[in-house]
């Protein structure tokens, strides 16, 4: 008892009582604190553990390398190129971003626009986020940059990946291109990769239609981040799965050859293996530079592509529809023979026109061809002969055979944007226009005009079918990754060999008999001869007055009013292997450039023996690693 005196004793008694009360209060407060800790750490501990993990863990997607696209003999048509870039991390610069940019400008070109963009990014983004200063630097610039790094604090040289199309516009329609993801892509595709900044997806061609296979699957890098989002370390990594390499049936050389010859024209050329349906060349000119889409096309350049009369963005081989003109006559011949409507020796005397329902239907040759049998009619492309046949045959049978040979429906080639074309019929006309079919329309159809519309690839398919007698369909994808996509044996077309032989002999006469419409541009190398059929698609109406005064020559008309020049062919005549269809828009000239091209293409295909040379896949696939792909280019 430490009390001092009597008065203090009473004071002490009160004090100790109340000190006890205060202690009790303190104990109660500690109890509350402990209880709160129990609630937070024991009762709700798991909840907060999850939230702490959510705070610190960030899953970052790893973009897979895109699969390459390779031609039939192993030439890489689309690959990933190293993209040498210069990045800038604002917080690591000395003296600010602007000063560092000034120093950088002495080494690499930085435009005022770029400069403005970089400064804006630097102001808006967190200071540790790298900003792209320049992309696609040359090796020289990149080396100099790397040398000067010591004096450029905050600048980071970086190597990314960019899609590379070594053959540029010549494969632009087959391959398509890759470009940035747009809102529509995001809606239709839930792959989180699309959300990656700078991620590019296929927009046309093979790049688009096989996007899923070529893209690969995202990897994930699980990283720990701090409160500012800065990556502290990687916790786990699940590497991405590279996209599949795609092998095409295309032959790079043949494609380039065709493009080279057509480069000043608005034209299309398709070449097929008549036995397998392998598309060996699919050229549509003009093209565009797919590499330009990588770095972002300016709106001026884009508009120029859109407004060009030569429609460089259109893949004319599958998306361009044309009147087949006289190239439809072999189809007419097959229909007429196979239905027994006529025999090969059925003859018609052409006077230059026939009259139906008070209307004159003219032959292209003023004054007529005289008497012709089927082979002669094909050789000279006599319209009156096929008018006569058409009247006997009727539109229904024409429609049936046109479709059977591959017109009026999608060929099913692995390319986006294919058009089915149109084979008209009374039912179609009734449904579309609400009017009955006129017999005159049957005549127009017979010579490939009227409402008949075909794509160059369909024409090529028709040619391949009549040349082989098989129901071949064109395809362009040979293999995806490790699995072969082509190689199925086509069934028979179901048309007798006699019928086909009769038509083929007519087509042989076109090129190989004097007087044939394509005789001047025949293949003269023995064993490589081709058979074919010319066609001219009229894009304007010829008035009565003009016809009376003589049809104007194509060359005298404005380009847009000139006739399209068409040609279908196959070779060799002895044992057909290659089919070819060429359309040159407004190119029906006396020199028949479309026939010349088909001749050159078919000759080259045969001389290089494309169909019989061993393919890159699967035989040589094992040796085609990404390292040596550069050598094969």
Partner 1 sequence: MNTRTYTGHRLYSLRDKLAEINWGFGLLVTMIASVGFAVLYSAAGGHFEPWADHQMVRFVIGLFILIAVACIDIRVWMAVAYPSYAVALLLLVAVEVAGRVGLGAQRWIELGPLALQPSELMKITMVLALARYLHGLGPDEISRPLKLLIALGWIVVPVALVLMEPNLGTASLLAVCGLCLLFLAGLSWYWIVPALVAVAVAIPTTWEFLLHDYQKQRVLTFLNPASDLLGAGWNITQAKIALGSGGAFGKGFLMGTQSRLNFLPEKETDFIFTVLGEEFGFMGSLALLALFATVLYYGIRIALSSRSHFGRILATGITINFFLYIMINGAMVMGLIPVVGIPMPLVSYGGTAMITVMFGFGLLMSVHVHRQVEVPRHASGMI
Asked if 231 is part of the footprint of partner 1 (rule: CB under 8 A), the reply reads no
Q: Please say which residue, 29 or 149, places its beta carbon nearer to partner 1.
A: 29
CB of 29 to partner 1, least distance (A): 5
Would you tell me the crossing angle of helices 329-338 and 395-404 to the nearest 10 degrees? 110
Asked if 236 is part of the footprint of partner 1 (rule: CB under 8 A), the reply reads no
Asked if 51 is part of the footprint of partner 1 (rule: CB under 8 A), the reply reads yes
Please list, in sequence order, all residues whose beta carbon lies within 8 angstroms of the beta carbon of residue 259, skipping any fewer than 6 positions away. Answer: 169, 170, 283, 285, 287
Asked if 149 is part of the footprint of partner 1 (rule: CB under 8 A), the reply reads no
Residue in 335, 433, 434, 424 with CA at minimum distance from that of residue 386: 335
Residues 53-82 within binding reach of partner 1 (CB under 8 A): 53, 55-56
Residues 210-229 within binding reach of partner 1 (CB under 8 A): 224-228
Q: Is 326 a catalytic residue?
A: yes
Structure-block tokens of residue 436:
């009955």
Structure-block tokens of residue 356:
């139906």
Size of the site for partner 1 (CB under 8 A): 45
User: Helix H segments across 308-367?
Assistant: 316-319, 329-338
CB of 19 to partner 1, least distance (A): 6
Residues 268-327 within binding reach of partner 1 (CB under 8 A): none
Q: Please say which residue, 11 or 125, places its beta carbon nearer to partner 1.
A: 11
CB of 33 to partner 1, least distance (A): 5
The β-bridge relationship of strands 76-88 and 246-248 is: unpaired
Name which position in 98, 232, 409, 591 contacts partner 1 (CB under 8 A): 232
Q: Please say which residue, 16 or 432, places its beta carbon nearer to partner 1.
A: 16
Q: Please say which residue, 23 or 607, places its beta carbon nearer to partner 1.
A: 23
Dist. CA 424–CA 439, nearest whole Å? 12
Asked if 143 is part of the footprint of partner 1 (rule: CB under 8 A), the reply reads no
CB of 60 to partner 1, least distance (A): 16
- Range in contact with partner 1 (rule: CB under 8 A) among 3-11, 143-151, 161-169, 533-541: 3-11
Dist. CA 418–CA 279, nearest whole Å? 15
- Range in contact with partner 1 (rule: CB under 8 A) among 8-16, 359-367, 489-497, 574-582: 8-16
CB of 237 to partner 1, least distance (A): 19
CB of 221 to partner 1, least distance (A): 17
Place of tokens 């963009």: 117
Asked if 427 is part of the footprint of partner 1 (rule: CB under 8 A), the reply reads no
For the chain, count helices (H), then strands (E).
24, 21
Site track 10-49 with partner 1 (rule: CB under 8 A), x = hit? xxx-xxx-xx--xx--xx-xx-xxx-xxx-xxx-xxxxxx
CB of 17 to partner 1, least distance (A): 9
Structure-block tokens of residue 83:
């993209």
Q: Please say which residue, 58 or 339, places its beta carbon nearer to partner 1.
A: 58
Q: 367: helix, coil or strand?
A: coil
Place of tokens 């790049």: 207
Please list, in sequence order, all residues whose beta carbon lies within 8 angstroms of the beta carbon of residue 206, skipping any fewer than 6 positions away. Answer: 69, 78, 174, 175, 176, 214, 246, 248, 414, 415, 476, 477
Q: What is the DSSP string of 492-509?
A: B----HHHHHHHHHHHHH
Catalytic residue (choose from 169, 172, 319, 326): 326
Up-side HSE of residue 278: CA atoms within 13 Å toward CB?
Answer: 27
Dist. CA 239–CA 252, nearest whole Å? 33
Q: Please say which residue, 12 or 346, places its beta carbon nearer to partner 1.
A: 12
Q: Please say which residue, 54 or 541, places its beta carbon nearer to partner 1.
A: 54
CB of 43 to partner 1, least distance (A): 9
CB of 28 to partner 1, least distance (A): 10
Q: Please say which residue, 55 or 143, places its beta carbon nearer to partner 1.
A: 55
Surface-to-core class of residue 609, CB atoms within 10 Å of its CB (0-12 exposed, 13-18 middle, 19+ buried) = exposed
Q: How far apart are the first and last CA of the chain?
A: 104
Dist. CA 28–CA 25, nearest whole Å? 5
Please list, in sequence order, all residues whose beta carbon lies within 8 angstroms of the beta carbon of residue 9, skipping any fewer than 6 positions away. Answer: 3
Q: Please say which residue, 9 or 82, places its beta carbon nearer to partner 1.
A: 9
The residue ranges that bind partner 1 (CB under 8 A) are 2-4, 7-8, 10-12, 14-16, 18-19, 22-23, 26-27, 29-30, 32-34, 36-38, 40-42, 44-49, 51-53, 55-56, 224-228, 232
> Catalytic amino acids?
326
């Amino acid at each position: 008892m430490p009390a001092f005196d009597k008065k203090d004793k009473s004071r002490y008694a009160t004090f100790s009582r109340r000190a006890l009360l205060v202690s009790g209060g303190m104990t109660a407060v500690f109890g509350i604190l402990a209880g709160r800790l129990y609630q937070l750490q024991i009762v709700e501990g798991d909840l907060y553990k999850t939230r702490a993990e959510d705070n610190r863990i960030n899953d970052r997607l790893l973009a897979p390398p895109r699969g390459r696209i390779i031609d039939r003999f192993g030439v890489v048509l689309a690959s990933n190129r190293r993209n040498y870039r210069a990045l800038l991390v604002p917080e690591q610069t000395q003296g600010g971003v602007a000063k560092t940019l000034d120093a950088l400008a002495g080494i690499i070109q930085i435009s005022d626009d770029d400069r403005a963009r970089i400064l804006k990014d630097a102001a808006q983004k967190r200071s540790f986020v790298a900003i792209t200063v320049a992309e696609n630097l040359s090796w020289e610039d990149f080396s100099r940059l790397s040398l000067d790094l010591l004096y450029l604090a905050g600048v980071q040289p970086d190597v990314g990946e960019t899609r590379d199309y070594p053959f540029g516009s010549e494969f632009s329609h087959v391959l398509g291109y890759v470009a940035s993801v747009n809102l529509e892509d995001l809606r239709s595709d839930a792959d989180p990769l699309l959300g990656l900044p700078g991620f590019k997806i296929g927009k046309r061609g093979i790049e688009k239609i096989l996007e899923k296979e070529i893209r690969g699957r995202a990897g994930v890098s699980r990283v720990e981040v701090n409160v500012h989002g800065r990556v502290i370390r990687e916790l786990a990594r699940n590497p991405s799965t590279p996209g599949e390499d795609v092998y095409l049936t295309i032959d790079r050389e043949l494609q380039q050859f065709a493009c080279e010859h057509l480069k000043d024209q608005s034209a299309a050329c398709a070449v097929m293996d008549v036995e397998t349906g392998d598309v060996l060349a699919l050229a549509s000119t003009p093209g565009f530079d797919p590499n330009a889409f990588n770095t972002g096309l300016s709106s001026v350049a884009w508009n120029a592509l859109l407004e060009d009369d030569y429609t460089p963005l259109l893949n004319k081989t599958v998306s361009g529809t044309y009147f087949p003109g006289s190239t439809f006559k072999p189809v007419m011949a097959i229909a007429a023979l196979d239905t027994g409507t006529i025999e090969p020796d059925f003859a018609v005397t052409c006077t230059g026109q026939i009259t139906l329902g008070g209307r004159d239907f003219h032959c292209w040759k003023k004054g007529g061809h005289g008497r012709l049998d089927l082979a002669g009619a094909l050789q000279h492309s006599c319209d009156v002969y096929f008018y006569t046949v058409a009247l006997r045959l009727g539109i229904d049978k024409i429609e049936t055979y046109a479709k059977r040979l591959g017109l009026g429906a999608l060929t099913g080639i692995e390319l986006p944007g294919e058009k089915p074309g149109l084979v008209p019929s009374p039912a179609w006309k009734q449904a579309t226009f609400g009017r009955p079919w006129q017999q005159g329309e049957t005549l127009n159809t017979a010579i490939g005009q009227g409402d008949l519309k075909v794509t160059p690839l369909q024409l090529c398919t028709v040619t391949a079918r009549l040349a082989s007698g098989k129901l071949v369909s064109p395809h362009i994808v040979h293999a995806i990754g490790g699995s072969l996509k082509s190689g199925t044996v086509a069934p028979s077309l179901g048309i007798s060999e006699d019928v086909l032989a009769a038509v083929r002999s007519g087509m042989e006469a076109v090129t190989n008999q004097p007087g044939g419409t394509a005789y001047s541009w025949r293949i003269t190398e023995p064993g490589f001869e081709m058979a074919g059929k010319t066609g001219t698609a009229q894009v304007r109406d010829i008035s009565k007055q003009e016809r009376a005064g003589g049809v104007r020559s194509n060359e005298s008309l404005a380009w847009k009013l000139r006739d399209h020049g068409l040609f279908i062919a196959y070779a060799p005549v002895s044992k057909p292997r290659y089919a070819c269809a060429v359309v040159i828009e407004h190119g029906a000239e006396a020199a028949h450039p479309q026939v010349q091209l088909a001749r050159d293409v078919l000759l080259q295909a045969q001389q290089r023996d494309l169909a019989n040379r061993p393919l890159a896949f699967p035989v040589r696939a094992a040796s085609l690693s990404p390292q040596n792909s550069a050598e094969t280019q």
